[in-house]
Structure formats: structure tokens, C-alpha cells
Chain A
Amino acid sequence: MSHPSSARQALLCATILTATLGFNAAVDFGTAQAAEPIKIGVISEEAAVAGASISRAAQMAADEINAAGGVNGSKIEIVAYDDHSSAADAVRAFQRAVNQDHVKAVIVSYISEVVLAVEPWAARLHMPTITPGAASNDISKRVHDDYAQYKYMFHGWLTSAFIAQSICDAAHDNLVDKLHMKTTVVMSEDAAWTTPLDARYLQCLPKAGLTVLDHIRFNPDTTDFTPIFNQIEAKKPDVIITGISHVGVQPTVQWHDQQVPIPMAGQSSQATTSTFWKDTNGATEGVITASAASPGVALSPSTIPFTEAYTKKFGASPSYDGYTSYDEVHYIVDAIKRAGSTDADKMVDALEKTDYVGTVGRVQFYGKDDEFTHAMKYGKGFVTGVEIQWQNGKQVCIWPADKCEAKLTFPSFAKLPQ
């Protein structure tokens, strides 16, 4: 081999070695120097409208706690990771958070697929982990079925089963009692969280007074909803009950542009964000969706102050998982205080005893013997979520009746039963 070539080889090897060592040292150096803050990892989808709220809200909560003196003098530090909506990236980020950054708890994602992939790692690595927005029943079912292994996982939002139940309860109050609707078609995306959602819909909607005429599941990659709406219209239901999160803008806009004469209600996660009106150019007028909180509605004393502070700081109101993420940081810290330690098992015990009034209501978790162990308790006095309807550019709360009294209005092309 000629001299220049081997010199180049040596140079490249040396460069890679130095870079890796330097990088390694920088990372280690960084961690060693910090004065023992308590770290909470946050793994979320920064590019997604719903996901971006998670880390922001968590940071806000940490700032508040630190301003009030932290935990026995230790500050709370949020370490954020972007998982690019990928389960693999989330698992890698989780491993990094635990092995490298030495976090004491992890808040992870609003996507069920991602949370389900991370959950076994929470079990293997004994790390208290909680989700602020995913809905799949399996998250808490696994805890019930194998408590010893999975007890580190907590479900910080309503499971699909309870989301569906809240929608059925609201449908009974608003759609059946007030508007005399009798039939419906269920339309949902084919994803982890909608399988149990739909199963519950099919159970509780008839009990609420709505006969289910058809059940359509579509590919989350769908961009053209015309065939689906045409299929639904052929059945002539009084209302469409949705289960959509991965999609939102497109079906809503197409529903409006095609003037489908059937109102839409149910769960449309994207419709819970304040930018949705702009994103759909107002096509979302009249769409009803379940949500964690509604502007102007005080689910608890901290709801409105949080909403206002977040909106002021970031220019838009938080999506539903911003509320839960904010609460989670607070009650994780609360659990650490009650446990008197950041030991994983002690934290789990303390978290199980959580009784915290957060922005979304009173947070408690189901226990070992309940069906959905470590899931958020649903019901009056706990967390029920709200139902909102978009009216004239604003999210108006229409349920539960004891918190909201607004009237329902629909666009002219949506036909109501007489």
C-alpha cells in the first residue's frame, strides 16, 4: 500500500476514535457534573401536534416545582427525547434514559403502539413509566395479568374502554335524550387503541339508545374518505360515532366538502387541539369530540390557570395530553415525596396511592384486583373527560351537564331527526 493511503487510514481511525472518546467523555462529564437533580424522562413525538404538548407541559410543571423549592432542595430536571412516532426509536430512547441519563421515571407518548413497545422494557428495567395520552386497554391489562413484572407501568389517561363509556354516556344525554337520535354507524381507524374502543362502543351504544347499523374500520393511511362516507350514508344513520386519532384533518374536511348529511361525534383526538379550526379551514364546525378539558371549563381549580399559562407561553392551548402530562409530573413528584425516596419499588407503591386533584379532575388509579390495574379511575368525582363541539371557531363544552350547559348546533347540511 502506498504511503498516502495508509496515512489516510490512520487519520480516519484516529479521528473516529477521538470523536467517540470525546463524545463519550462529554456525555459522561455532563452527567457527572450536574448537582443531583431528580430526572424525569419524557419521550414524545415533537413533530405531531398532539405529541408536542407533552414535553412542553412537563417542562412547565417542572419549572413550577423548582420555583417552589424543588423536592427537599433537589431540582426536577426534564430530559426530553423525540421518538419520531417510531416504536423502535422510543425503545432506544427509553434504554438511553434509564442506562445513561439515570432518570427516575419516564413519561411516554400518546401513541398506544409506542407505549406497548416500551412497556416490556419498563418491566425489565424496573422503571416507573406512565403514559399521558395512549388509550389501549392492553397497557393496564398487562399489569393486571402479570402484576409482579409489570407493576412499574401506569396509565395516566382513560383507557379506550372508559373513553368509549364516556362517549356513550354523553350520547345518551345529548344525542338520544335531547335530539331523539336512534341509529348510528361506528367509524374508526384500524389501530391498537380502537379495538377495545369499538368493542365497548358496540356494547354501550345500544344501551344508551343508539342502534349500531354498521361498523367500519379503515386503514390509518387512508387519504380518500369518499367511499367510506358514501358507504355510511347508504345506511342512513342519525349520527356517525368516530374513533380517530392518527387521522383527523382529512376526514373532517372531506366530510364538510362533500356535505355529508350526518353529524359526527365520538373521539377525534386531533379535533381537541386549538389549531384544528385553522387546520381544517373551519370545516370542523359542528364536530363533537371527547376531550380531556375544554377552554373556560374549570374541571378543577388548576385547569384554567394551567391552560392560560400554557397558551400565553406557547401561543396555542394544550392538546389533551398536555393536561395529563402536566399533572403527571406533579403527582410523580408527590409520590417521591410520600415515598421519601426515588427507589423504583417505593415509588410504585406511592404512585398506587395517588389521590391528586389535577387539571383533568381527581386522579386515582385502579388496584391489583380491578380489571384495569393502574389505569385512571373513571366516573363522577374522578376523571370523566368532557365533550366539546366546535362552534364558530371555538371549542364549546357540551357535557357533562353539571359543568357545561351549551346548546348543540350543526352546519346546515347535517340533517337532524325531527
Chain B
Amino acid sequence: MLASQILIDGFAISALYGLGAVGFTLIFGVSGVLNLAHGGVMLVAALIGWFVASEFETGPFLGAALGILAGLGMAYLTYFIVVRPIQRSRVIPAAEQEIFILTGTLLWGIMIQVGMDYLFTDNPVTMRPMFPGVVNLLGVRTPRNELMIAVICWVVIGLLWLLVNRTRAGKQLLAASINPRGLTLLGFELSNIYLLVWSIYGVLAGLAGVLLASFLGVSSANAGQLTASAFSIVVLGGLGSVSGSLVAAYVVGYLETITAYLIAPTLRPIPALLLLVLVMYVRPQGLFGRR
């Protein structure tokens, strides 16, 4: 009974972690950007989705759709206001670009968090479940919403895989992540590719934010934690590796769930953090990272 609970609970939360992490690693893999405003993007999607659904009584689906749109919008804003100007800047030395992007997205993330704080207060919001009710799975009473969230996450990840491996645009993304200069030499516009990857990122992060709001609830106070969590999972899995992020998300998700159930809820984040430290010592490029 306990084992089934852990299995199901862990699966759902890991799927959600995975969705958030995949977007984060995609941006890094293709354009080399560590977006520290990641939590902020998820937050905006969640809050807008909730706001629309409750103020205009549109029901959870339309709210979720608009939330995802808001996430997409916020991703674009992040790219055009912060990342692209730094990448194209003439006053910032090329060697230090990474540091400036880190600091810039960090600042932008803070602005988003404080802005949302001002508009919505730091009270957590939850989206009405898209699939209310409970089902009995393996003898465990599980909210239907939780299961559907896991399903949605995997469907989306599957769609992403199809996009990257089977479509032309996707293959360009893949190529850009391996050798951007080579791609330019072949005549492809990197800026179009970057736009594509930020669009995908916006949808993924927006969806992750909306689903998180529906499953557990989100508040502006979580923004930093969401970024740190995605960052940790992505590094554990290997920066730039989508499959690595998914595996790492499940490792972290299950570690946390097992700790919460079998050891103590207060110690929940510890084993995952310790694992991260261990991996940093032993294999810094992560489980599936390319070096």
C-alpha cells in the first residue's frame, strides 16, 4: 500500500519536474543560455491562468490555455529584453557573455517576482482541477487530476521528441546545439533557430507552471525555488541533454517522495541535494552530459 502510494505520488511529481527541466535544458543546449528567470516564467503562466479562470469564470481549460500563452509571452520578453541584447552587445566582452546573461536573467527574474507580488500578493493560487474527482489506482485513492497531469507531461515530451527528431526545424535545433558556427556556415539563420527554441521553451515552461498550479499550487515566493530546482535537475542529468533531464527528474522526484514518506516530510529536499553534491564530485558533467 505504502509502496503503491510512493510509486504513484513520485511518478506525478517527477513528470512535472521533468517538463520544467526539459525546457530549461533545451535553451541551454541550443543557445547556451542559463535562464535564471525560469521560475518567473512558470510563475507568470500559473498566475495569469488562475486569474483568468477565476475572474472571468472561464473554467480551467481556457484558463490553462491563456496561462500557457502568458508563459510564451514572458519567454519572448525574456529573450528580447534581456538575452538577445546581451548576446548582440558590443560593449560586453564575448568571454563574459555567460556571466552577464546569468546576472541579467537573475535580475529579470526578480523583477518578475516582485511585479507578480505587487499584482497578486504572495498568496499561493491553485487552478481548479481540469479533471476533478478521484480514482482507485493500485489500491490507492488518487486524484484524477494528478494522473492526467502525468499523462499530459509525457504526451508533450513525446511531441517534443517527434519535433526534434522527425521534423526539419527540429533537426536544425539539434544541429545548432552541437555546432552553431557550422550551421551558420551552411546558411541557416541562427536567430530564427533561437526564436524557435524560445517559443518551445515558452510553451513548455508555461505548461509546467499551469500544471503545477493545478496540482500543488504556486505562489510568487516559489519562483526562486523553481529555478534552483530546475537548475539542479538539469545539471544532474547533464546540461543540454533532454533525456538526461528526464532521468534526473525522476531520480530527484522519487528521492524526495521516498524521503517524505519513509523518513520525514521535513527532510524532503536533503537526499537530492546530497546526491547532487556527490555527482559534482564524481562526475561533474552529470549523468548524460556531453563534455
- Using a CB–CB cutoff of 8 Å, the interface residues on chain A facing chain B are 47-49, 52, 85, 190, 216-219, 221-224, 226-228, 230-231, 247-250, 253-254, 257-259, 270, 275, 278-281, 283
Which one of B54, B125, B128, B266 lies within 8 Å of A190 (CB-CB)? Answer: B266
Q: Shortest CB–CB separation between residue B14 and chain A, in angstroms? A: 12
User: Which chain A residues lie closer than 8 Å to B265 at the CB level?
Assistant: 216, 218-219, 222, 227-228, 231
Check B266–A217 contact: CB distance below 8 A.
yes
Check B134–A47 contact: CB distance below 8 A.
no
Check A250–B124 contact: CB distance below 8 A.
yes
Check B225–A221 contact: CB distance below 8 A.
yes
Stretch of B88-96, B98-106, B115-123, B176-184 with 4 or more beta carbons under 8 angstroms from chain A: B115-123
Which one of B5, B9, B128, B260 lies within 8 Å of A281 (CB-CB)? Answer: B128
9 cross-chain pairs, A with B, having the tightest CB-CB distances, nearest first:
A227-B260, A250-B217, A249-B124, A281-B128, A253-B126, A257-B143, A218-B265, A227-B261, A219-B266
Q: Shortest CB–CB separation between residue A71 and chain B, in angstroms? A: 34
Q: Which of B198-253 contact A (CB under 8 A)?
A: 216-217, 219-220, 222, 225
User: Which chain A residues lie closer than 8 Å to B125 at the CB level?
Assistant: 249, 279
User: Which chain A residues lie closer than 8 Å to B121 at the CB level?
Assistant: 47-49, 52
Closest chain B residue to A251 by CB distance? B217
Closest chain A residue to B266 by CB distance? A219
Check B143–A258 contact: CB distance below 8 A.
yes
Docked CA distance A270–B216 (Å): 17
B13 interface contact, C-beta 8 A: yes
User: Which chain B residues lie closer than 8 Å to A253 at the CB level?
Assistant: 126, 217
Check B217–A249 contact: CB distance below 8 A.
yes
Check B134–A259 contact: CB distance below 8 A.
yes
Docked CA distance A278–B128 (Å): 10
B31 interface contact, C-beta 8 A: no
Docked CA distance A49–B219 (Å): 12
B129 interface contact, C-beta 8 A: yes
Knowing that A231-B261, A249-B219, A280-B126 are A-B contacts, what are 5 other residue pairs whose CB atoms are under 8 Å apart, sorted by A's residue number? A221-B225, A230-B261, A249-B123, A257-B145, A258-B141
Docked CA distance A48–B123 (Å): 6
Check B123–A270 contact: CB distance below 8 A.
yes
User: Which chain A residues lie closer than 8 Å to B129 at the CB level?
Assistant: 257
User: Which chain A residues lie closer than 8 Å to B219 at the CB level?
Assistant: 249
Docked CA distance A249–B221 (Å): 13
Interface size class of B (residues with CB under 8 A): 20 to 34
Docked CA distance A226–B9 (Å): 8
Docked CA distance A80–B61 (Å): 41
Closest chain B residue to A224 by CB distance? B216
User: Which chain A residues lie closer than 8 Å to B118 at the CB level?
Assistant: 47
Check A227–B141 contact: CB distance below 8 A.
no
User: Which chain A residues lie closer than 8 Å to B257 at the CB level?
Assistant: 227
User: Which chain A residues lie closer than 8 Å to B268 at the CB level?
Assistant: 219, 222
CB pairs A–B below 8 angstroms (22 shown) = A47-B117, A47-B121, A47-B220, A49-B121, A52-B121, A217-B266, A219-B266, A219-B268, A224-B9, A227-B5, A227-B257, A227-B265, A249-B124, A249-B126, A249-B219, A250-B217, A253-B126, A253-B217, A258-B134, A258-B141, A258-B142, A259-B143
Docked CA distance A224–B254 (Å): 13
User: Which chain B residues lie closer than 8 Å to A228 at the CB level?
Assistant: 260, 265
Interface centre among B5, B124, B257 (most CB of A within 10 A): B124
Q: Shortest CB–CB separation between residue B9 and chain A, in angstroms? A: 5
Q: Shortest CB–CB separation between residue A243 and chain B, in angstroms? A: 15
Closest chain A residue to B127 by CB distance? A281
Closest chain A residue to B267 by CB distance? A219
Which one of B117, B126, B145, B260 lies within 8 Å of A250 (CB-CB)? Answer: B126
User: Which chain B residues lie closer than 8 Å to A48 at the CB level?
Assistant: 121-123
Q: Shortest CB–CB separation between residue A133 and chain B, in angstroms? A: 16
User: Which chain A residues lie closer than 8 Å to B122 at the CB level?
Assistant: 47-48, 85
Closest chain A residue to B259 by CB distance? A227
Check B9–A278 contact: CB distance below 8 A.
no
Docked CA distance A368–B274 (Å): 50
Check B9–A279 contact: CB distance below 8 A.
no
Which one of A190, A221, A224 lies within 8 Å of B13 (CB-CB)? Answer: A224
Q: Which of B107-163 contact A (CB under 8 A)?
A: 117-118, 121-129, 132, 134, 141-143, 145-146
Docked CA distance A49–B220 (Å): 13
Q: Shortest CB–CB separation between residue A1 and chain B, in angstroms? A: 21
User: Which chain B residues lie closer than 8 Å to A275 at the CB level?
Assistant: 123
Q: Shortest CB–CB separation between residue B5 and chain A, in angstroms? A: 5
Closest chain A residue to B262 by CB distance? A227
Docked CA distance A228–B257 (Å): 11
